[in-house]
A and B are shown apart, each in its own frame.
Chain A
Amino acid sequence: MKKQVLFQVETPYREALDVTAYQFGGEEKSVAVVGALRGNEIQQMYTCALLIRTLKRLEEEHRLSSACGILVVPCVNHFSMNIGRRFWAVDNTDINRMFPGYSGGETTQRIAASLFEVISPYQYGIQFASFYLPGDFLPHCRMMDTGYQNLQDAADFGLPYIILRKPQPYDTTTLNYNWQIWNTSAVSLYTKETDCVDEATALQAVNATLRFLSKRGFLLDPPTECALPNIVQEEQLITVLSQAGGIFVRKHVPGDQVARGEVLAEVLDTGTAEIKSQVLAPAGGQVFFSHKAQLIGEHEVAFRLI
């Protein structure tokens, strides 16, 4: 394992932000893994850290192929993480909306450019990512439907679901999208949590990554067998909106099978604790996403079902 500072960002009155990578195997640019781009992506950073710990051991045991090079960047934005901010703490810009970056531009464009210069030559790109809506997910792989995607790459992670997303204009500056456009096969892995650590799904993401490495021959162990994943277009997910604002009491969590008409959650009046509204399943299926915060407003995405 080689630890190296990829680049540095100087800011007034603070130590420079050192963006650090951990490198395994040879010089080959095979797989790049990126963790926290946002200051609240603690689970994503932790998942990278677990992966680094595992790869270090596998490398010491000579179980990594010498024909591969793996680079893992656990955290790009501890500048914001250390002071409890989600986006770049000065101008509130999102590094994951700045790709491919611009080396002559604003600070976060420069950060994106410096990072992208290092990671864009890699054959495969893996991002441990978070969603902009707060809530719990079933662990899954996500790919942009740009026409360049290779579904087999996502399938080889062995997670039960692959979500294919048609890019919207605001997706065109994300890391995942730009990796694909610049010829890296890019997969984003979503686990249950963002701002706190969920050990079980972090391990699941690490194991999925190891499985992918085995499938590509980068890890010499044989891959574990998995069931075939379900491929779902994002627009096929059924969105269930809240009909009222109040205290959100969840009756089902991601992974649960629910029947049509079943009560997924109740919204309680904040003054009387009486049930103000029931969130009902419009169809039978599996809960894929659920709102998690204890308060909910009207017209929020309470659940998504597969």
Chain B
Amino acid sequence: MLETIVSVQLPVGEHLMIQKNRFTPLTSIPACKRICVVTGIHGDELEGQYTAWKLAAILNQHQEQLRGIVDIYPALNPLGINSICRGIPLCDLDMNRIFPGHSDGPVSEFVAHQIIKDLSGADVCVDIHASNIFLRELPQVRVSQEMADTLVPLAGYLNMDFIWINASATVLESTLAHSLNSTGTPTLVVEMGVGMRITQSYGDQLLDGIFSLMAHLGIWAGEVPDVRTPIISTDGNVSFANANTSGIFLPTVSHLAQVQKGDPLGLVVNPLTGETCETVFSPASGLLFTLREYPVVYNGSLIARVLGDTP
């Protein structure tokens, strides 16, 4: 059932609307559980669109297997997705820096407030991101240190390759996930693939994970596939390689390669002069789980992240 959770008038004959699709069991089950699958906070991240579609398509066909509520929110930033804009087009703000919002605030904060109101109280929320247009990511769940005890066991069901336990930064307290986690709604942040593209195999992998999580919560009675065992790691095991010159980045390794410390990862070149400005080397030995996708780089641009081999 389609529901509109917030609607505000735009200046000329149109509304900004955020919608969800609610799936409920065929016969009502008292005190049943609820999972929320949300995506599209960042308008240039589309990986979650595939997962949302396929989840809705399966639930449309197999409502008889539902034992709880599934709410799917494919576009928390509908104007952004619609117009290929990462932030909120009205004010150019990163929507994931305005939570929990405010009922009396400007429209962006009001919308954030209404979203939180609708999601609060769910038994689990899955927030699907897709890196950005610059970086390609291994399917992973990001969990803040202080929530690790609650979230890592749930994240294990999601069939992702990697669970990254992040140190907490104050600025990240304005994210949707933090706002929900700190008020008792467990929220898992998925990062996978790359911005402005859809990697269907990653979407299918996550979909198996969502069904497995739903089965664990008693929301889904149908068959679920076995899920993979993720690597679990903290920041300490993740190393970064940044460009120190500007130019065009040409990778010499492929995403998800096993690399040794000091291996070349790619070149930064100058097409005008024919020079190679820099060779970027691997900062550690391990799995190349993040790799630069967008070729134009500046001094400072992130090139790669390596998940170190555990000794």
Contact = CB atoms under 8 A, between A and B. Distances in A.
A12 interface: yes
Contacts of A169: 170-174
B262 interface: no
A133 interface: yes
Interface in A14-73: none
Interface string B65-92: 0000000000000000000001100111
Given A90-B298, A169-B171, A169-B174, A12 B104 contact: no
Contacts of A168: 174
Interface stretch (B6-14, B137-145, B214-222): B6-14
A301 B90 CA distance: 13
B233 interface: no
Contact of A270 (B13, B240, B248): B13
Given A91-B134, A105-B300, A173-B171, 12 more contacts: A12-B246, A12-B298, A97-B171, A107-B300, A169-B173, A170-B97, A172-B171, A239-B104, A244-B9, A247-B11, A297-B8, A297-B107
A228 B245 CA distance: 52
B202 interface: no
B153 interface: no
A106 B298 CA distance: 9
B194 to A, nearest CB: 14
A104 interface: yes
Contact of A104 (B174, B242, B248, B270): B242
Contacts of A132: 91, 93
Q: How large is the interface on A (under 10, 10 to 19, 20 to 34, 35 or more residues)?
A: 35 or more
A139 interface: no
B174 A12 contact: no
Nearest to A297: B10
B106 A301 contact: yes
B12 A298 contact: no
A151 interface: no
Interface string A164-190: 000011101100000000000000000
Report the 7 A-B pairs with minimum CB-CB distance, sorted nearest first: A245-B9, A169-B173, A295-B11, A107-B300, A298-B9, A110-B300, A298-B8
Given A86-B92, A106-B302, A270-B13, A10 B296 contact: no
B299 interface: yes
Contact of A299 (B106, B134, B301): B106
B241 to A, nearest CB: 10
Given A91-B134, A92-B86, A271-B13, A299 B298 contact: no
Interface of A: 9-13, 86-87, 90-92, 97, 104-110, 132-133, 168-170, 172-173, 239, 241, 244-247, 270-271, 295-301
A271 B301 CA distance: 47
B12 A270 contact: yes
Interface residues of B, number: 41
A296 B11 contact: yes
A297 B246 contact: no
B299 A298 contact: no
B107 A300 contact: yes
B125 interface: no
A295 B90 CA distance: 11
A245 B299 contact: no
Nearest to A177: B170
B232 interface: no
Given A90-B296, A170-B174, A106 B8 contact: no
Contacts of A105: 242, 300
A10 B245 contact: yes
28 contacts: A9-B298, A10-B299, A12-B248, A12-B270, A12-B296, A12-B298, A13-B272, A92-B92, A105-B242, A106-B242, A106-B301, A107-B298, A107-B301, A110-B299, A133-B106, A169-B171, A169-B173, A172-B170, A239-B104, A245-B9, A245-B10, A270-B13, A296-B11, A297-B90, A297-B107, A298-B10, A298-B107, A299-B107
